[in-house]
Amino acid sequence: MPATMRIPSRDITPESLAFLAAAYMVLFCNSRFWSETLHLIRPGTPEEVAFAASLPLLLTALYFLVLLPVLSHRTLKPLLVTLFFANALALYFIDTYHAYIDRGMVRNVLQTDWRESTELLDVRMAAYLVLFGALPTLALRHFRLRTDAPRRVLARRLGLLTGTIAVMATVMATLSQQFMFFGREHRELQYLLVPANYITAGLTLLRGPGTPAGARIPIGPDATPGASWQATDRPLLLILVVGETARAEAFSLNGYARDTNPELRRRQVINFPDVHSCGTSTAESLPCMFRPFGHDGPDTEDLKQYESLLDVVERAGVDVLWLDNNAGCKGVCAGVEARSLAGSHDAGLCSADGCHDEILLRHLRQVLSGPAKSRVVVLHQQGSHGPAYFRRYPAAFRRFRPDCNHETLLGCTSQEIRNAYDNTILYTDHVLGQLIDLLHSTSDVYDTAMLYVSDHGESLGENGVYLHGLPYFIAPETQTRVPMIFWMSDEFAARSGIGRSCLKHAATAAYSHDNLFASTLGLLDIETTSHDPRRDIFAACRQAGHPVT
């Protein structure tokens, strides 16, 4: 570019650049926040107009105050560049999937493996990175930070600090009632406010658990096998299947119009139609599911201080194995044997994009070909994880067509998205059906049972929301209502004393992930003070020593 056409650099104080950056982020990086806010306020009265007008002023002042302590010539521009590109990514997910960025969402991002990450890359994300990351970064090149005497800088910053706080205090005092009401009634909007949403979430995650790493608090230290273990020398085999992103309403067992469960319907399964999850993401649900505290228990990070259900089971003398076709167990399997199968080399089931869930059954068969002993095996599925639903099932399960075959759903109609998702459920149905057949075939050796439950549900575009991970208090039921299915062999029913007719009736009640810990211990007849019979789904139907029907 000729020198005459160059945009000249402009001298500017760091304080002025910080203020401009704060105003830019508030006004131009929060379109969804402003649209939601104005929809809720609908300014009409003078008070509502004043409140709506004061919000950008207050937020700009707040962002400026946060930047004020880091206004050095060395740190300001690198920090702003980092914020610009992070903003671009946050905006992409907020605008594209109607995501809310909270601690759970940030935790999900940090724990996502490379295969899942690549499924989110597309042209639209690149456009966001250019528009909200690269362009404001280029604009920074045309500002040259002015150097002033330290005394002058100190006086200027003290003045700005005092003035900014005074403005904020005046606005808050004048409109205190409006701010208190709005903040209390619409607290979900904080998860749309860039960059405050991801910065706040990231800082809370950095806080970490309150105990030193590796020092786990025991659960069920008194765990022992119950009386049924003395009555037989046959080994017990319980398979816990942790589904991924399966929503209950997509199961025809729950009344869905499409026949997505043809194989399970032909088998003697007991369906639980009203089950809700601990969280709306794997990172939230798994730690909660496998511990006794429930949805209202400790924070997810604090949960990691505790042992899990698997430790209790192993302490009682039952072998435990975690087989994973997902992105890990989120700390649940830390104390037991765990094997990751997602990177397996199996030409029939695996590719560079990962493995289909039948890889879990193939490995389970190998495990069961060894010496017979009592076991609990957890199968962690890839299930229906999006947005690339089409990668979760083999071509033979493309029953519902046309199915979306785009990585990020953007090039697909709502029906194509639904078709692809329903195909994942159809494939899960097949995997569970094959698992039941495998367990039935081992009934000459083992007393067998299977309990399947998904970690959370999924939004498929209802009200413009896609995927999962919304804060629980605003999440739609599509993300929190999950399928749960139980099967047991006749031998297991006789051993446990659980009556099928009783259980079918009990299954119609409302349950949640809060029931999993106690119910599993009940199924296994493991006695411990950590077992809460009030949460044990099977307790009311257990009639030890009596015929079962």
pLDDT value at position 46? 82
Q: Which CATH number fits domain 224-541: 3.40.50.300, 3.20.20.70, 3.90.79.10, 3.40.720.10?
A: 3.40.720.10
Element (DSSP H or E) covering residue 94: helix 76-97
pLDDT value at position 7? 57
How confident is the model over 306-324, as pLDDT tens digits?
999 999 999 999 999 999 9
Q: Where are the domains of the chain?
A: 3-206, 224-541
How confident is the model over 258-267, as pLDDT tens digits?
999 999 999 9
Residue 254 has pLDDT above 90, yes or no: yes
- Taking alpha carbons only, the member of 369, 423, 465, 472 closest to residue 102 is 472
User: Do residues 49 and 180 lie in contact, with contact meaning Cβ atoms separated by under 8 Å?
Assistant: no
pLDDT value at position 73? 84
Residue 205 has pLDDT above 80, yes or no: no
Instruction: State both tokens at 499.
Output: 């009556």
Residue 4 has pLDDT above 70, yes or no: no
Residue 242 has pLDDT above 50, yes or no: yes
Least confident of 137-141, 186-190, 449-453: 186-190
How many angstroms separate the most distant Cα atoms in the chain? 96
Using DSSP's 3-state secondary structure scheme, residue 512 falls into strand
How confident is the model over 349-395, as pLDDT tens digits?
999 889 999 999 999 999 999 999 999 999 999 999 999 999 999 99
If one counts every other C-beta atom within 10 angstroms of the C-beta of residue 320, the result is 23
User: Do residues 72 and 148 lie in contact, with contact meaning Cβ atoms separated by under 8 Å?
Assistant: no
Burial 413-439 (b: 16+ CB within 10 A, else e): eeebbbbbbbbbbbbbbbbbbebbebb
Strand partners, 468: none
User: Which whole number is the average pLDDT over 142-161?
Assistant: 91
**Alpha carbons 397 and 424: distance in angstroms, whole number:** 8
Instruction: State both tokens at 220.
Output: 């069920």
User: Which whole number is the average pLDDT over 404-418?
Assistant: 89
Q: Which residues contact 511 (CB under 8 A, 6 or more apart)?
A: 272, 274, 275, 276, 484, 537
Assign 545 a pLDDT band (cuts: 50, 70, 90).
very low
C-alpha angle with apex 518: 514 to 523, nearest 5 degrees?
Answer: 130
- The percentage of residues in the chain with a pLDDT greater than 90, rounded to a whole number, is 69
Question: How confident is the prediction for the chain on average, in pLDDT?
Answer: 90
Assign 214 a pLDDT band (cuts: 50, 70, 90).
low
Using DSSP's 3-state secondary structure scheme, residue 485 falls into strand
- The percentage of residues in the chain with a pLDDT greater than 70, rounded to a whole number, is 93
Residue with tokens 């940030």: 106
What are the φ/ψ torsions at residue 451 (nearest 5 degrees)? -125, 120
Element (DSSP H or E) covering residue 527: strand 526-527
pLDDT value at position 207? 66
Helix, strand, coil percent values for the chain (each to nearest 5):
50, 15, 35
Strand partners, 548: none
pLDDT value at position 117? 67
Residue 412 has pLDDT above 60, yes or no: yes
Residue 64 has pLDDT above 80, yes or no: yes
How confident is the model over 452-503, as pLDDT tens digits?
999 999 999 998 899 999 999 999 999 999 999 999 999 999 999 999 999 9
- Number of helices (H), then strands (E), belonging to the chain: the values are 22, 16
Using DSSP's 3-state secondary structure scheme, residue 302 falls into helix
**Alpha carbons 290 and 287: distance in angstroms, whole number:** 6
The three-state DSSP-derived secondary structure of 314-362 is HHCCCEEEEEECCCCCCCCCCCCEEEECCCCCCCCCEECCEECCHHHHH
**Alpha carbons 427 and 424: distance in angstroms, whole number:** 5
How confident is the model over 5-55, as pLDDT tens digits?
455 678 899 999 999 999 999 999 999 999 988 888 877 778 778 888 999
Element (DSSP H or E) covering residue 518: helix 516-524
pLDDT value at position 113? 67
How confident is the model over 92-145, as pLDDT tens digits?
989 988 888 887 778 777 777 666 666 767 788 999 999 999 999 999 999 999
pLDDT value at position 343? 84
Strand runs labelled E in 331-471: 337-340, 350-351, 354-355, 375-380, 447-454, 459-460, 466-467
Least confident of 60-64, 122-126, 286-290, 334-338: 122-126
**Alpha carbons 288 and 332: distance in angstroms, whole number:** 9
pLDDT value at position 546? 41
Using a cut of 0.85, tell me whether the model's pTM lies above it. Answer: no
Report whether the peptide linkage leading into residue 402 is cis, meaning its omega lies within 30 degrees of zero: yes
**Alpha carbons 512 and 514: distance in angstroms, whole number:** 5
Instruction: State both tokens at 494.
Output: 């006789």
**Alpha carbons 406 and 411: distance in angstroms, whole number:** 6
Assign 548 a pLDDT band (cuts: 50, 70, 90).
very low
C-alpha angle with apex 316: 311 to 318, nearest 5 degrees?
Answer: 80
Residue 106's Cα: distance from chain center in Å? 9
**Alpha carbons 141 and 7: distance in angstroms, whole number:** 10
Assign 184 a pLDDT band (cuts: 50, 70, 90).
low
Instruction: Work out the angle between the directed axes of helices 196-207 and 76-97 (0-180°, nearest 10).
Output: 100
pLDDT value at position 203? 85
Residue 212 has pLDDT above 50, yes or no: no
